[in-house]
Amino acid sequence: MKRDYIESKPFIHNPPLVDKPFVFVWDVSSDLCEEKFGVKLNLDYFDIIHNKNKGQLGENLVIFYQNNLSKFPYFDRKTGQAVNGGLPQAANLKSILTDFEITVNKLIPDKDFQGLAILDCELWRALFSRMGDSLMKIYQQKSIESIKHKHPDWNEAQQLRWATLEYNLATERILKPILVLGEILRPHALWGYYLYPDCRYYNMTKKDMICSNLEMKKNTEIQWLFDESTTLYPSVYLPEFYKDKDFVKNYVANRIQEAMRVDDARFSNVSAPVFSYHMLSYKKTIKFLDSQDLLDSIGIAAVLGESGVIFWGGNNMGNSIEACQNLSNYIDNFLGPYCKKLSDAATRCSKDNCNGHGRCVISKFVDNHRVSKRRFLFIDEVMDIVSKLSDNIYNMYDALQGVEYSANAPRVSCQCFTSWKGEHCEISL
């Protein structure tokens, strides 16, 4: 697949949650910290958006886990027992949608809900080819067994090809109607699936960390999912062995830019908001990200033009007084100050350059002054900006303002919210 430049669309949806162009959102299981252990989390002081209970269900964000999608088919990972038919091919769509409607009305009682609605279905993937690991291989095996039973006279290649086709059609038959129904029930919510688009296999030299042509092709195969989503929620969780490595920036940048690429392919001149998921700790540990990795990851998200960052943390983040105190200290001394500086810088740039009616996008121009031909930066261009700014990444907008239009120099321009247009979003629609 050719790696063409990604055009920056002229419009972006109006800011969700609060009137800020770049925000940080709290999706951490920390509701017991204040309620049970009396440990205050100063999220408001640093403008980190959260539910009132500082948990994962509320007025700003709702995440639907597997236990909220109880009619989804899957195989129990301990017993291998089929539940609700096991395979997506055996799913009862009517039952799934009926149950989902009940769940939406329970978890999001406000019909005018305007927050983030994240669907977290990780028992199986949308594509047959993405389930080669040990936990999900059963879906490939059972799909092939089903075809063998129906067509024992076919050769293995035919059986594999048909099993792949049946599986992929079945997942689309489930995942797409879920989005459609969610958008009907809560039309102002920002609906999307966690982890999509994904980008799983990287250059193992740990230098480029590219999203390969093969991975992009796989995401293109499920463009139907991105077309129906109103928001994209890619994941950029860091394993511990990435700690303080130079390639962290590349890893994060490539995953986020793949989200920009699939958004570019959507049939709309309005960008879907992209909120990348960032784990507060290194994967499978309770060690918080250090200051360098924190800055590299959330700073890259800002440079690439995301609408925001979502912080995730599991139950171990807030299940004891000690855990809550550690979390509170991390917010006060590291996470909070970084978030506020980046968010304030984006807001200031929006007001100074876009009349507060759009967001600043660091981009290049491929056709003189035409904003419609503004493109996002290539990864090496992003790395160049980040390396020059170093720890002063908060001033990235200031450093690039006033640069003349040129195909050879990145500059700050405006991507207007949907009610405004013009070079500086000065014209009301």
Q: Determine how many CB atoms are found less than 10 A away from the CB of residue 392.
A: 10
- Maximum Cα–Cα distance for the chain, whole Å? 69
The count of residues in the chain is 429
Q: Is the peptide bond before 197 cis (omega within 30 degrees of 0)?
A: yes
Measured CA distances, 340 to 110, 121, 280, 328, 386 (Å): 29, 31, 16, 16, 19
Sequence-distant (6+) residues with CB within 8 A of 170 are 87, 88, 89, 91
Provide φ and ψ at 296, rounded to 5°.
Answer: -60, -40
122 is catalytic: yes
Measured CA distances, 338 to 110, 302, 393, 426 (Å): 33, 12, 10, 30
E strand or H helix at 414: strand 411-417
The stretches of 240-368 forming alpha helices (DSSP H) are 248-264, 291-304, 321-330, 336-354
Cα separation of 81 and 146, whole Å? 16
Of 7, 34, 122, 166, the active-site residue reads 122
Of 332, 252, 256, 249, nearest in space to 292 by CA = 249
| Residues labelled as active-site residues | 122
